[in-house]
Amino acid sequence: MLATETFNLLKKYRIRLDRKKGQNYLINNHFLSQIIENAHLDHSDVVLEIGAGIGTLTVPLAEKVSKVVAIEQDKRIIPILRERLNEKDISNVEILLGDATKLNFPYFSKVVSNLPYQISSPITFKLLGYDFDFAILMYQLEFAQRMIAKPGESHYSRLSVMMNLCTQTELLFKVPKNAFLPPPKISSAVIKLTPTRNPDVDEFFVKTCRALFQHKKKKSGKALLQSFHEICDMDLARSSIRDIISQVNGKLIEERVFKLTPEEILVISSELEDVLEKM
Ligand code: SAH
């Protein structure tokens, strides 16, 4: 049993897991096999695993693919991971010790990870910079809901917009707290994320989107006015900023930010960029 095995290993090495470090180890065989199944692995795959821990996912992944790149930040955990791989005669795992938000990832075709929750956001955005088939990722339920939220829904956010435009994202299944040791405070969910290229999502768009969602409930023209410094570092009088914003599609700047579709935000951003370029 995964639960007993995990408990005994941690006891043997006298490791106390720390929730603050995102250490919630999967101890449920059913959800483990669901994750592996959904990854549709074959021998040509190179899998990136972020937060490998004691190898609960690493081992079954390595048995199915050509190589696993396993990143783990906690150096106390690495010897356990190595021992487990040795015991099972697994030699196709490259272990990288370090912070996954800071390391450059080597080539990979898929990502399969039970992510450390505190880096969900930076890791998700970081992955968008890479080219790969798809990712199967465990997140906190609330974060997963924000990823897939539609305009007007309470979880709709900057993250939803970015996921909508740059990926195809689907919630595969929820995972209860007791599937982990120690149990996290809230439930989790497994997401399938497939990157889709979108050349319109550039730095200017990202800044506009950030500025808008700083005032999610306000009309978008007002949100842009209040967070204009996020978009443009020119030192402009408030009246000039008002004038710039008034040149953007009138219907859209009267709409509340949380009701704008991702495509409408693209329109706002490109019109705003045009106005600024003409100045
Ligand atoms: N995959 C394992 C462990 C998941 S817990 C399992 O499913 O059981 C997440 C792991 O990520 C922990 O081992 C934690 O130490 C590690 N971790 C936390 N922050 C990290 C970071 N910034 N970079 C890499 N690993 C990190």
Across residues 251-277, what is the average pLDDT? 97
Check residue 138 and give its pLDDT: 98
| Segment 171-202, tens digit of pLDDT | 999 999 999 999 999 999 999 999 998 999 99
267: exposed, middle or buried (C-beta count within 10 Å: 0-12, 13-18, 19+)?
A: middle
pTM, rounded to two decimals: 0.95
First-to-last C-alpha distance (Å) of the chain: 66
Nearest residue (CA) to ligand 1, atom 6: 25
Share the mean pLDDT of the chain: 97
| Contact status, residue 192 vs residue 38, Cβ threshold 8 Å | yes
Instruction: Please give the CATH number for the structural domain made up of 203-277.
Output: 1.10.8.100
- Fold (CATH) for 2-195: Rossmann fold (3.40.50)
Check residue 197 and give its pLDDT: 84
Confidence of residue 163 (pLDDT cuts 50, 70, 90): very high
Q: How close is the Cα of 198 to the center of ligand 1, in Å?
A: 30
Across residues 27-44, what is the average pLDDT? 98
| Segment 122-131, tens digit of pLDDT | 999 999 999 9
- Is the per-residue pLDDT at 279 higher than 90? no
Check residue 19 and give its pLDDT: 85
197: exposed, middle or buried (C-beta count within 10 Å: 0-12, 13-18, 19+)?
A: exposed
By most ligand atoms within 8 Å of CB, the mutation choice from 28, 31, 50 for ligand 1 is 50
> In the structure, how many helices (H) and strands (E) does the chain have?
13, 9
- Matching residue, tokens 């955005």: 125
Check residue 181 and give its pLDDT: 96
Atom of ligand 1 nearest to the CA of 99: 23
- What residue type is assigned to position 1 of the chain? M
Check residue 274 and give its pLDDT: 97
Domain ranges of the chain: 2-195, 203-277
Q: Going by DSSP bridges, is the β-strand pair 67-72/93-97 parallel, antiparallel, or unpaired?
A: parallel
Nearest residue (CA) to ligand 1, atom 16: 51
Confidence of residue 158 (pLDDT cuts 50, 70, 90): very high
Domains 2-195 and 203-277 share a fold: no
Across residues 154-171, what is the average pLDDT? 97
Give the span between the Cα atoms of 68 and 136, in whole angstroms: 14
- Matching residue, tokens 């005032």: 215
Nearest residue (CA) to ligand 1, atom 3: 53
- Matching residue, tokens 């390595």: 62
Confidence of residue 254 (pLDDT cuts 50, 70, 90): very high
- Is the per-residue pLDDT at 20 higher than 90? no
Across residues 211-223, what is the average pLDDT? 98
Atom of ligand 1 nearest to the CA of 100: 23
| Contact status, residue 138 vs residue 116, Cβ threshold 8 Å | no
Instruction: Output the six-digit token pair for 70.
Output: 């396993």
- Is the per-residue pLDDT at 1 higher than 90? no
Check residue 27 and give its pLDDT: 98
